[in-house]
Amino acid sequence: MTQIKYRFAPSPTGKIHIGNVRTAIITWIAAKSMNGEFMLRIDDTDLERSKDEFTDAIKTDLTWLGLNWDDYAHQRDRTARYDELIQKLKDDGRLYACYETSEQLDLKRKALLNAGKPPMYDRGALDLTADDIAKLEAEGKKPHWRFKLNHAPIVWNDLVRGEIKFDGSLMSDPVLIREDGSPLYHLCSVIDDMDFGITHVTRGEDHVSNTAAHIQMFEALGATPPQMAHLPLISDIDGGKLSKRLGSLSVEDLRENDGIEPMAIISLLARLGTSDPIEAYTNVQPLIDTFDFTKFGRGTPKMDVREIERLNARIVRDMDYTDVKDRPELSNIDENFWNNIRANLNKVSDINDWHHVTQDTIEPCVADEDKEYIATALSTLPDGDITPDTWKSWTGVLKEQSGRKGKQLFMPLRQALTGMDHGPEMDKMIALLGRDRTVRRLERAAA
């Protein structure tokens, strides 16, 4: 039985962003759902734009997300193999040399469009004689090479879109080799998928027409095309193309600047555009167990970046101390403090803000008309160590003596003891403050 194998093939020309990390997440989960392998292939044939620092960043991001890979390769290491199969396609007549300049091609396209015809290449290069070619090359012109498509139906069953049909006679022969002799993405990708035994490919719907040409390339090389899944591209919340803010959102930024947990990203992007509800998962296994490409709709899924933040808050609040205790930002935080504060965290690093509130000097924000009430609160503070139970008995006495209730009873105390008008429940806060800090802060607020 053929081993299931998926691949994620980013180009190291920048950081991984929301759009391509979604493909990586879905590809990885799909592979695991089928007990298959996941390959990371670095598409770095563009030596001028590809940078090792971006390759390292991609690997760091995928590792942080937990998307481990079973196989790994760089395209830049495979040029000899590409050259070998390029020569085969030339010998078989499936790659042919073209000498038109970009200006000449633009004129041809414009003429076809003006005539109401599709801007397909007219295969004029196939009419060149040996003398024509010799003359062009004597003039110093170097050819680009096109793949000669068979004028036949191209049909495949897409895992997301169902049956897809193209007419090869209505498609333009794609350029596969530049004038400098370097192969383009299309051919290298097909050769790699064939050589590495890739059985499934997940990509965006903007690649559908490319896939039609790729299928004929596989066939020309004597290989069976992988099964394809073309996902709708995501849009921003307003339904338009990705906004600059969302489109430029990198995994690195989410991790280092926004304090987002990996499972918040995975929880959203794995389910975005499917019929399954988006929930905050702390483990990827439920997403693997329920994965099915047929759940993805054809419509454009809308992504609200704030949803990542909401999911992140729910995930953080469910975390046990053992999940976070070794993080650098928790070096001064013990288990008791974490358990009392975590219900109010949006990200793990927020714990330090509350540590500052409870342990350092803060400025009370009590209104002048409440100072007498705070003085009464100080005088009625129960003796002995302060525990979470202290709050209930203390405010009970204050309610009876002051006649205050509700917000008038509780808010001045919160403002005096924390300098804020919101936060964790006060029974927990005063226990974390302890008696000495509680007394000092009440004294200062009443002064």
- 97 and 143 assigned to the same domain: yes
Contact 176, 147 (CB under 8 A): yes
- 251 and 297 assigned to the same domain: yes
Residue 36 lies in a domain: yes
What are 334's two structure tokens? 């013990």
Residue 267 lies in a domain: yes
Q: Is the pLDDT score of 165 beyond 70? A: yes
pTM of the model: 0.90
Pairing of strands 95-98, 162-167: unpaired
- 395 and 257 assigned to the same domain: no
- 71 and 200 assigned to the same domain: yes
Region for 181 from its dihedrals, namely left if φ exceeds 0, alpha if ψ lies in -120 to 50, beta otherwise:
left
pLDDT class of 327 with cuts at 50, 70, 90:
very high
| 51 contact partners, CB below 8 Å, separation of at least 6 | 12, 13
Phi/psi for 310 (5° steps) reads -65, -45
Which of the listed residues 261, 294, 322 is the one where a domain comes to its end? Answer: 322
Q: Is the pLDDT score of 359 beyond 60? A: yes
The CATH number of residue 372's host domain is: 1.10.10.350
The pLDDT, as a whole number, for residue 18 is: 86
What residue numbers bound the domain in which 428 lies? 361-446
- 53 and 9 assigned to the same domain: yes
pLDDT class of 1 with cuts at 50, 70, 90:
low
Q: Is the pLDDT score of 133 beyond 50? A: yes
Residue 416 lies in a domain: yes
The pLDDT, as a whole number, for residue 247 is: 47
Q: Is the pLDDT score of 425 beyond 90? A: yes
Q: Is the pLDDT score of 12 beyond 70? A: yes
Residue 158 lies in a domain: no
Range of 29-33, 134-138, 254-258, 327-331 with top mean pLDDT: 29-33
- 372 and 441 assigned to the same domain: yes
The pLDDT, as a whole number, for residue 46 is: 84
pLDDT class of 334 with cuts at 50, 70, 90:
very high
The CATH number of residue 145's host domain is: 3.90.800.10
- 296 and 316 assigned to the same domain: yes
Q: For 112-129, what is each residue's pLDDT tens digit?
A: 899 888 889 999 999 999
- 368 and 435 assigned to the same domain: yes
Residue 156 lies in a domain: no
Question: Which residue is listed with tokens 């015809």?
Answer: 117
Q: Is the pLDDT score of 378 beyond 90? A: yes
Residue 161 lies in a domain: no
Q: For 206-263, what is each residue's pLDDT tens digit?
A: 999 999 999 999 999 999 999 999 999 988 776 555 544 444 578 998 998 889 999 9
The CATH number of residue 191's host domain is: 3.40.50.620
- 250 and 391 assigned to the same domain: no
Task: Give the distance, in angstroms, between the CA of residue 362 and the centroid of all CA atoms in the same chain.
Answer: 39
What does the alpha-carbon distance between residue 18 and residue 31 come to, in Å, rounded to a whole number? Answer: 20
Which of the listed residues 358, 373, 402 is the one where a domain comes to its end? Answer: 358
The CATH number of residue 304's host domain is: 1.10.1160.10
Q: Is the pLDDT score of 344 beyond 60? A: yes
- 145 and 130 assigned to the same domain: yes
Residue 159 lies in a domain: no
For the chain, the domain total comes to 5
The pLDDT, as a whole number, for residue 245 is: 47
Percent of the chain residues past pLDDT 70, beyond the cut: 97
- 40 and 87 assigned to the same domain: no
- 22 and 50 assigned to the same domain: yes
Q: For 43-92, what is each residue's pLDDT tens digit?
A: 998 888 899 999 999 999 999 999 999 999 999 999 999 999 999 999 99
What does the alpha-carbon distance between residue 368 and residue 360 come to, in Å, rounded to a whole number? Answer: 23
Residue 165 lies in a domain: no
Give 21's Cβ-side CA count (13 Å radius). 33
Average pLDDT over residues 418-429: 94
